Amino acid sequence: MSERTRTWLFLTAIATLGVVLVLTVSVQPQTESRVSHIGSRIKCPVCQGESIADSPSQMAQDMMSLIEERVAQGATDAEIETEILAAYSGAVLLDPPMSGRTLALWLAPAAVAILGLAVIVRWRRQTPESGVTTDVGRPSSRRRLIGGVVLTVAMVTIVVIAATALQDREGPAAGVANPEAQDLENVSNETLEAVIAANDDHPDINGWRLALAERYYEAGDYRSAFPHYLAVADSGVASAAEAITSLVRLGWMAYDGNEESETALTLFDRALEIDPSSQVALYLKGTVLWCGDRDADAARDMFADLLDDPELPDESRVQIEEDLADLDAGEECT
């Protein structure tokens, strides 16, 4: 067999095999599920550098089942990612985006590759004659200068970075549900529900519950809001403001939703035990007393007291003055 035939034989074999290979591989099924794909891109907040897909920790498992749920509900990968990152502080993407602050991360290796390639190509292009160094035995002062400058800059950078890096930092505790640090607006109700369910014994979870309950409340969904307000009110660790808000909302829902004015008044009184000057509690209590046809006089006194409060916001003042005028006129509440 001549060399020529052999070459053609090999070329044909290589081309054929190459085509077959590409064809067989391109029809391969998707091996990784969407859930584990998303999970592998998110750092587990309570672990050491593991993704939530890899980590056996309870929190990571909760987050994975949340992803599973959201995938089943038809959310897109990007939506789920945004939600999870917003919902869990300390959860960050392990796959930094090719934009913004992490762009340099992708550009730096590329720059090194291009630089290296340029050096090699240049090295080759120079003819041996011009390439022979003429300064053998004599230190090049220019080279020294450049080297010195580059080194100094590099060193200063390293020292500054290190000094900063070595300082004790107090980051937010990993994995703590942290409504203030996070932008909850991007988080869907479903995600909030899941996070709350997973962290229901966490002392800081009341902020989350309230945020979610307020959403339901404003949407008129009392049924969904109710258990969260109740949990906050009963948690025993809620702040005064949180407790009052929950009690007042519970009271109003009891009256507005179920016309249980008795329950409502009890709840308002509980709120007033915490802060006897709570304007919301006083106003709503007065409203229930009036509208529930229980004690219009008491309501009138309460409204009058409220108007005496110099800290009452102007809009509320207008509203209460209107209500008081209606009351004095003996009209039905609206």
Partner 1 sequence: MMLALFGTAGVLAALTGGGLLAVRGIRVARGGKSDLIGPARLLAAGAIAAMAALEIALTADDFSLSYVANQHSTATPFPFDVATAWAALEGSIVLWGLVLAGFTWMAVRRYRKAPDSLAAGALAVMGGVAVFFFGLILTVSNPFEVCTSALEVGCAQSSPFPWSTVAAPAQGPGPNPLLQNHYLMAVHPPVLYLGYVGMTVPFAYAISALALGVPGPEWIRRSHRSTLVAWSFLTLGIVLGGWWAYEVLSWGGYWAWDPVENASFMPWLAATAFIHSGLVQQRRQMLQAWNFVLVIAVFSLTILGTFLTRSGTINSVHSFTQSAIGPALLGFLVLVLVGSFSLFATRSNLVSTSPRVDSFVSREGSFLANNLLLTVYGFVVLVGTIYPLLLEAFTGDQTAVGEPFFNRLAVPLSFLLLLFMGLGPVLPWRGSPPGQLWARVRAPIALGLAAGVATALWVSPVGWVVLAVTFATYVTSGIVGLLLEQSRARSAKGGQSIWREMRRVVVNDQTFWAGQMSHIGVVVVVVGIAFAANLSHHDEVTLEPGDQTEFAGYSIVYESPFQVREPNRLVRGARVTVLRGDDFVASLEPRANFYGSDTTGVVTPAVLSRPWGDLYLTLRDIDSERVELVLDTSPLIWMIWLGGILTAGGGAWSVSSRRQERALVRQSLIADV
State the residue for tokens 């959201």. 70
State the residue for tokens 């999970």. 39
Among 34, 41, 202, 300, binds partner 1 (CB under 8 A): 41
Among 73, 76, 126, 277, binds partner 1 (CB under 8 A): 126
Q: What is the rounded CA–CA span in Å between residue 17 and residue 240?
A: 74
User: Which of helix, strand or coil describes residue 5?
Assistant: helix
Q: How far is the CB of 76 from partner 1 (least distance, A)?
A: 18
Binding to partner 1 (CB under 8 A) within 82-101 occurs at 90, 92-96, 101
Q: How far is the CB of 320 from partner 1 (least distance, A)?
A: 46
Binding to partner 1 (CB under 8 A) within 171-230 occurs at 171
Contact between 147 and partner 1 (CB under 8 A)? Answer: yes
DSSP letter for 137, please. T
Residue 10 tokens read as 């090999």
- Give the distance from CA 117 to its chain's centroid: 42
Contact between 143 and partner 1 (CB under 8 A)? Answer: yes
Nearer to partner 1, 172 or 313 (CB): 172
Nearer to partner 1, 119 or 241 (CB): 119
Among 2, 99, 133, 334, binds partner 1 (CB under 8 A): 133
State the residue for tokens 């106003």. 283
Q: What angle do CA 205, 210, 211 make, to 5 degrees?
A: 100
Contact between 118 and partner 1 (CB under 8 A)? Answer: no
DSSP letter for 333, please. P
Nearer to partner 1, 55 or 278 (CB): 55
State the residue for tokens 């998303």. 38
User: Which of helix, strand or coil describes residue 43?
Assistant: strand
Contact between 135 and partner 1 (CB under 8 A)? Answer: yes
* Contact criterion met (CB below 8 Å) for 70 and 80: yes
Q: How far is the CB of 78 from partner 1 (least distance, A)?
A: 15
Contact between 78 and partner 1 (CB under 8 A)? Answer: no
AA identity, residue 300: R
* Contact criterion met (CB below 8 Å) for 247 and 221: no
Element (DSSP H or E) covering residue 315: helix 314-328
Residue 66 tokens read as 């949340």
Q: How far is the CB of 281 from partner 1 (least distance, A)?
A: 40
Binding to partner 1 (CB under 8 A) within 264-303 occurs at none
* Contact criterion met (CB below 8 Å) for 175 and 46: yes
Among 1, 27, 72, 78, binds partner 1 (CB under 8 A): 27
Among 1, 4, 5, 24, binds partner 1 (CB under 8 A): 24
Contact between 25 and partner 1 (CB under 8 A)? Answer: yes
Binding to partner 1 (CB under 8 A) within 43-72 occurs at 43, 48-51, 54-56
Tell me the site size for partner 1, rule CB under 8 A. Answer: 71
Contact between 162 and partner 1 (CB under 8 A)? Answer: yes
Residue 245 has a CB neighbour count (10 Å cut-off) of 23
AA identity, residue 251: G
Nearer to partner 1, 20 or 219 (CB): 20
Q: What is the rounded CA–CA span in Å between residue 19 and residue 25?
A: 10
Among 78, 169, 180, 314, binds partner 1 (CB under 8 A): 169
Contact between 131 and partner 1 (CB under 8 A)? Answer: yes
